[in-house]
Structure 1
Amino acid sequence: MQRRYKKNVYIDAIEFDNTSGNHQAIIDFAGLPTSVEYTSAGVQLRVIRGAFSVLIAKLGECIVKEADGSLRVCTREALEAEYKLVEEETGSG
């Protein structure tokens, strides 16, 4: 008999908005070094996971830390379509 199960998980996310303190907040969040690039296509943040593993977030995109600790990038719209906001941390970082 086929059965379907649902698992609720918590994730954390931070938006790259290129404001003062945002870069350090992302470094603290990811626990990894970052660099910001100003290109002809716009501003993007690179989270450096390893020599050949870089996560690229464009301005306004969110960096998501999954329940298993892995990182990914998605838009705020995609994030809100998949997850319900349960807590928002604000403050001086």
Structure 2
Amino acid sequence: MLTVFAALSQLKREQLKQRQREGIEIAKAQGKYTGRKPIPTDWTRFGQLYGELKSKNISGRDFMRRMDMSANTFYRRVREYEIRHGIIEQTSA
């Protein structure tokens, strides 16, 4: 009896996800669904702090606190900054 309820619950969940996926596709086609807005970044201040970070005057945590960003955003922005400015670090592998 319990397996029947579990199967019905799973079927309902799959139908819900399918309807949601279809709704998002329709909204995208109409230009209404654009996703999450990007977090704004002050690139001037970022560049100054990046210099301090690379000269080991501040830690990554201090950098994140001063820029008020999460760790994931920090690492993503560092990667973007390095690509923009052609900074490629040597990897020892």
Which one has more relative contact order, counting CA pairs under 8 Å at least 6 apart? 1
More strand by share: 1
Q: TM-score, normalised by structure 1?
A: 0.23
Q: TM-score, normalised by structure 2?
A: 0.23
Which of structures 1 and 2 has the bigger CA Rg? 2
